[in-house]
Structure formats: structure tokens, C-alpha cells
A and B are shown apart, each in its own frame.
Chain A
């Protein structure tokens, strides 16, 4: 990966980057740019939002109940790995050492509910635990491109009883990669989430623009809006979307520190841990 890597905690000079919201220039308000993403080294770097009472950076305010429809979207660029986790929910009952709190088959008996991973750099997979049947449901969620920016949106529509994964990239609009007819809810997200960690090995590569919605199943047109022709989307330009969490991986924090501000309606920040770093430069953000 060609990176301009700056360890968190060090300053970074501010080169200007292209406005990527798609809004007309001079439209008023601060310009929306996407200069940074989070770089994860594949060993134990990750981004966490810990709304449990246990572990590092615990006690965040829950982003919602996640007992009904929900969605999330993000960009990622994977550089390594055979099986690597991308996003997982945490679990309120987790109380042992370690950061994960999410394992689908945890040694401590805690049964996590959700994990999305990448197999062999090309196949996105999502695992949802069905509490009724006590089985792990596997969505073969679609093809992704290794070492390139991919866009993923996950939508659970409670009224329709479906879990839908949309996949796109910088030049290809998102389309449905997989649909699962199942009404399992995603309430583990009330305990938070991990980006770059889950049941599989930790993620190696870049992640950016993670947004999460509670009580909302994104429509296909909304997913296309968020994809924004292959660039980061400025959620403030569309009040109807209103994510509870929108974590820009450095852009709201000047590319320094370990706190990742929430630009959604929620108040608490996420955290980059174990040496996760913000990076900038060509190829290190979607659309740039």
C-alpha cells in the first residue's frame, strides 16, 4: 500500500483535498473533504465503539437499541489476508479480557450476533446469528476487489424480514450482493461495534466513512446516494438520512489523536486502538 502514514498522536500538515460531497462549489457552509482514512495493520489495530461496561474505552452512550430496522455503510480497501473481519457487533455480556467482545463462537460462551468478513480478498460474507433456530446464517454477500476501494451497505429491514448487502466500488454503483430472508434483529449493535475485528483475523488495509443507522432500513436509492459516485458522502447535505453514527476516520479530528469524532446524531466518539493510524494521500481515500 502506498501510504502517507502518520502514527496517531503526531501532527499532520494539512494539504487540501478535493471536495467530494458532490455539492456545488460555493454552496455555503464549510466545504466537505475526505482527506483521511484509518489504516489497520492486520495484527490487532481496530476501530471500536464500546458501549458496554467492560474493556478499554467502555461506557459509550449506546447509538440506539437496534431492535428494529438498521443499516450501516462504509468504504474499505483491503491489502492483505485470507480471512479478515471487517465489521462486527459487540455483546453486552462480554466481560473477559481482550477487546473483541463480539466473537460468534466465543470461548467464554458469549454468543455474538453479527460479523462481516472478507474471504480470500474477493468474497464478502456476512454472518447473522438467528436466536430462534440457534444457528449462524451465512450470507455470501458479493464480490469485492482486493487492494481497491469497495463500498458496502448492510440493510436489515424488519418489516420486510430481510438482510440485504449492497456492494460497489469507486466506479461501480452498489448493487445487491446478497439477500437473506430472516427477521433476526441486530441488537448487539447497542453494545457498540468493531471495525477491523471480529471472528476472523483482524483487517489489514484502510477503512473510511463508517455510518450506522438505527431504526432505518436504507432504500436502494438511499444506498446509491451514499455511494455518491464513488466518493465520500456528506450526510449533512441530506437530513433525511441522519445516521446515529458517522465516523470519518480522521477528517473531523485533523488526522491526529486516537479519538474519532461522531458526525452523526450521536454524541460519543469511536476510538482507534492498538496503533491504528490515519493516512492521507493518493489512493488512501475513496475517490481520491
Chain B
């Protein structure tokens, strides 16, 4: 079953039901470098708290996460 990924604002984390996403807990979320956004992933039906938000495929989210808003690698 393919995973779907949704970017949310950091302020929305409190609304996430971690029983309905694959992330383990609030403390295991990966945030954008400025801390303003994070994302969650799920399989199957869209959790109600994510309805209406943009869903990304695996390849799409990888492209986003490779961007400078999310990654600051050692070159």
C-alpha cells in the first residue's frame, strides 16, 4: 500500500492523532529548518484531521525534503 505524505504547520501537531499516522510520536517528527512546518505520512484512508490538505507521493515529498527549506547538508 502506497504511503501518502502531508505537510502541516508546526502549530497543527497537537491535532495529529498518532494512531492514524506512521510517525511514532510528536517527538519523532522531522521539521523544516526554520521549524515552521513538519509532515506526517499514512497508508489507506485519509485521517480526518488531514482532509483538505495537499497529499504528496513518496517521490514528491522526497523532492520537497531535498530542498533548502528542509535540508542543510554538509557539502
A residues with CB within 8 A of B = 7, 41-44, 55-56, 80-83, 97-99, 104-105, 117, 127, 136, 199-202, 204, 258, 273-275
Pairwise interchain contact B74-A199, C-beta atoms closer than 8 A: yes
Chain A residue contacts of B66, Cβ below 8 A: 81-82, 201
Pairwise interchain contact A275-B74, C-beta atoms closer than 8 A: no
Pairwise interchain contact B30-A202, C-beta atoms closer than 8 A: yes
Chain B residue contacts of A43, Cβ below 8 A: 5, 30, 39, 41, 58, 61-62, 65
B31-67 Cβ-contact flags toward A at 8 Å (1 or 0): 1000000010101000000000000001001100110
Pairwise interchain contact B22-A274, C-beta atoms closer than 8 A: yes
Chain B nearest CB, measured from A178 CB (Å): 16
**12 A/B residue pairs, CB under 8 Å, sorted by A:** A7-B1, A43-B39, A43-B41, A55-B27, A55-B28, A82-B66, A97-B26, A98-B27, A200-B73, A200-B74, A273-B23, A275-B22
Q: Do A275 and B26 contact each other (CB < 8 Å), given the known contacts A43-B65, A201-B73? A: no
Pairwise interchain contact B41-A275, C-beta atoms closer than 8 A: yes
Q: Which of A56, A81, A199 contacts B25 (CB 8 A)?
A: A56
A interface SS class? loop
**How many B residues touch the partner, as a band?**
20 to 34
Chain A nearest CB, measured from B60 CB (Å): 11
B residues with CB within 8 A of A = 1, 3, 5, 22-31, 39, 41, 43, 58, 61-62, 65-66, 70-75
A56 to B29, CA, bound (A): 11
Chain A nearest CB, measured from B33 CB (Å): 8
Instruction: List the B residue with the shortest CB-CB distance to A84.
Output: B73
Q: Which of B3, B41, B71 contacts A201 (CB 8 A)?
A: B71
A41 to B39, CA, bound (A): 14
Instruction: List the B residue with the shortest CB-CB distance to A138.
Output: B74
Pairwise interchain contact B27-A99, C-beta atoms closer than 8 A: yes
A131 to B5, CA, bound (A): 39
Pairwise interchain contact B3-A44, C-beta atoms closer than 8 A: no
| Apart from A43-B61, A56-B28, A104-B74: 6 A-B pairs, beta carbons within 8 A | A41-B58, A44-B39, A97-B27, A99-B30, A273-B24, A275-B41
A145 to B53, CA, bound (A): 38
Q: Which of B26, B28, B74 contacts A44 (CB 8 A)?
A: B28
Chain A residue contacts of B28, Cβ below 8 A: 44, 55-56, 98-99, 273-274
Instruction: List the A residue with the shortest CB-CB distance to B59.
Output: A80
